[in-house]
Structure formats: structure tokens, C-alpha cells
Structure 1
Amino acid sequence: MQGMSIIVKKVAQLLSGLIFMYGIYIITHGHLTPGGGFAGGAILAGSLILLVLAFGSDVMQLQKREAGSSIMESAAILGFLLLAAAALLTGAGIFFTNYMPRGQLFHLVSAGVIPLYNIMVGIEVAAALFTIFLALVIYKEELKK
């Protein structure tokens, strides 16, 4: 896949970082505002997709990225399940219970374990959407051969 013009590349460089930071903001503030892990993960994936579209890449690099994003997706799912299982180990006795102390209402650290769940969901969604995009691009490139 070929890259685009120098103007598009420069704009993508500037915007992708801001979009990525906005996705992180949506994930970390998901328990306080509308949004959360899924919406933030979709925004994170969008910033990564923007870079691939602007700069292009050959199929070999895309296959390496696809493998890495697939591993990231699996690690996020495992982290999510470990957080849920940690409730059983802490003595709460219920799978997926909120076992961490709650902070002051409407503050960033005010929801116990829920922000950690949001982070894991955000990573999983971003990696899944990016993996799907890369798989489609790789398939398209292989059809051209």
C-alpha cells in the first residue's frame, strides 16, 4: 500500500497523536462521562488506522503489525479476566465484583476497579479493530499479486 502526499503525512502526524490522546482520555474518564472502553478503543484504533493510511506500508510490515496487535488483543482479554478473577482472590467471593476502595464521588479515582476494566476493554477494542483493518489491507494486497 502506497503512502499519500507529504501534506497528508504531516497532517496525519499532527492529528494522530491528538486523536490517540483523546481516546485515552475517553477510556480513563469512562466511569465519569459518556464513553468508556469501547468508544475510546475505537478512537485509538482510528488514530492508528490514520497513520497506516497516510504513510502506507508493505505487506510484510503489515503482517508483523497484525501479529503484534493480535497479541495485544489477547493480552487485554487475559488482563480483563484476571481483574475479574482477582475479586475471588481478595475475599470478595463474587466474580467481577468491585473489590478496590472507592474514592471521592466525581473524581478520577472514584470507581474502584471499573476504570481498570475500561482500560482493558479499550486496549482490546483498539487492537481488535486495528487487527481487522490490517487483515483487510493484507488481503487486498495479496489479491493484487
Structure 2
Amino acid sequence: MKWIYVLAGIALYIKMLVIANPAPDYPISIVDAVVKDSGVSNAVSGIIFRNRLYDTIFEVVVFTISILGANFLLATEKPSTEVHHFTDKPSVILARLGATIAALVGIELAIRGHLSPGGGFAAGVAGGTAIGLVAITAPPEWMQAIYKRWHAAILEKLSVLVFIVLSVVTLAGAELPHGELGALFSGGILPILNILVAAKVALGSWAVILVFIRYRGLL
């Protein structure tokens, strides 16, 4: 039986060397095709949230499982008795300034990620960076109180559920009007998916940061 597989592999290899793929009679631009189908000028966002939406769904699910895993694995450890953070004014000012810039960049990437380089994952990373910079200059109890006050854990789970529901609806063939190409309100459902991913990544990063600070101290 194995010789059949060997001969089949050799035949396929010879076919790839001898028989060329038929070339189309007209030039095809994959980028133009993606932009036209998705209605967004950023072809990368069109691929992530439309052409390869299955992959993006499971990427979000994997990130969610990673957060749950961090909480599960560290839950049995003893919390740190004392967590130190930066208290000198130059470090606090620089960190808070960097956090403000990172937060503004994250909002920009989330809102306009379908028009220019960027997107939900990059926006979420920028938001998580802003939260991390604030965390190293503030008491962990204060950060935890804000996390609970704004119900960040619930918002994170809601963002995942809404993203999955909208993705399933999109994969079923339902789409919002694309609007004018290049406008802020364009691309149908893609900008909404972009913002949901940004919120998920930022809030998930916040949860992980709090867990590691609580059980491992300020790294």
C-alpha cells in the first residue's frame, strides 16, 4: 500500500513541474478584491474580519482561555503580602503620560482601524499597555477597586459573546450596508467587530495584569 502513496506523491510532484497553472487573461489584484468585497480601505482588516473570520473567532476564544488559565493556575498560590509600586514623581508623571498617549492611540486604532493600519488587536495591546503603565504607579487595591467598579470582568465576557454572535450572523451571509469607501462609517459590521476585539484584548490584559501583580508582585 505504501508504494501506491509513493507513486502518487511522485506523480503529483511531476505534475507540478511539468503542467503549469493556467494564467488568467486579465490582471487580478487581491488587495482590490478584498477592499471591494469588505468595503474598507484597510485590506488587512477586511481579511481578518471577513475573509478569515473563522480564524479571528478562534483567536479571540484562545485569548479568553489564556486569561481563564492564568486565573486558574495562580488561584492556588499565596498572594503577595506587599506589592511595591513606583512612588517618585518623575516616574509617576512619565508613566501616566505614556499611559495617556497609549490610551489615545488605542482609541484611534479601534475607531479607525478599518481605514488605516491598525485594528482591534493592536488597539487592545495599546489599551493594555496604558493599563500596565498605570498599574506600576498605583496601589493594587486601587486598581482592583476600579476594575470592580466598572464591572470590567462582565464587560469582557459580553464583548466576547457579542463578537461571536455578530461573527456567526456575518458568516451566515447577513451584512450591513458598506457605506462610502474611506468614510468613518463604512465597512458594514467590520468596525463594530474591530471595537469589540479592542475592548476584549484591553480588558483581558487588565485582568491578567491584576492577577500577576496580586500573586507575583510588580514584575
TM-score tier by shorter-chain length is 0.7 to 0.9
TM-score normalised by L of structure 2: 0.54
The amino acid of 1:13's aligned partner reads R
What is the count of residue pairs matched by the alignment? 133
Superposition pairs for residues 101-140 of structure 1, below 5 Å? 101-140=177-216
Query: Partners in 2 of 1:25 and 1:35 — Cα distance?
Result: 9
> Is contact 1:66-1:131 (8 Å) kept?
no
Are residues 32 and 84 of structure 1, via their aligned partners in 2, closer, same or farther at CA, if it must alter by over 3 Å?
same
TM-score, normalised with respect to structure 1: 0.78
Report the alpha carbon displacement of residue 62 of structure 1 after superposing the two structures with TM: 3.0
Determine whether 1:23 maps to 2:106.
Answer: yes
Give me the whole-angstrom Cα distance separating, in 2, the residues matched to 1:64 and 1:101.
38
Q: Specify the alignment match of 2:158 in structure 1.
A: 75
State the match for 1:9 in structure 2: 92
Identity of aligned residues (%): 26
Paired with 2:162 and 2:136, the residues of 1 have a C-alpha distance of 30
Equivalent residue, structure 2, for 1:38: 121
| C-alpha distance in structure 2 between counterparts of 1:30 and 1:72, whole Å | 21
Quickly say closer, same or farther: Cα 1:64–1:26, change in 2 above 3 A. closer
Distance 1:64 1:13, change over 3 A: closer
How much has 1:47 moved relative to structure 2? 0.2
Q: CA distance change for structure 1 residues 61 and 25 in 2, over 3 Å: closer, same or farther? A: closer
Distance 2:102 2:130 in 1: 6
Question: Which 5+ residue runs of structure 1 have no aligned equivalent?
Answer: 88-93
Greater gyration radius: 2
CA deviation digits over 1:3-44, x for unaligned, max 9? 311111122233322210110111112212222101110110
> Gaps (5+ residues) in structure 2?
1-82
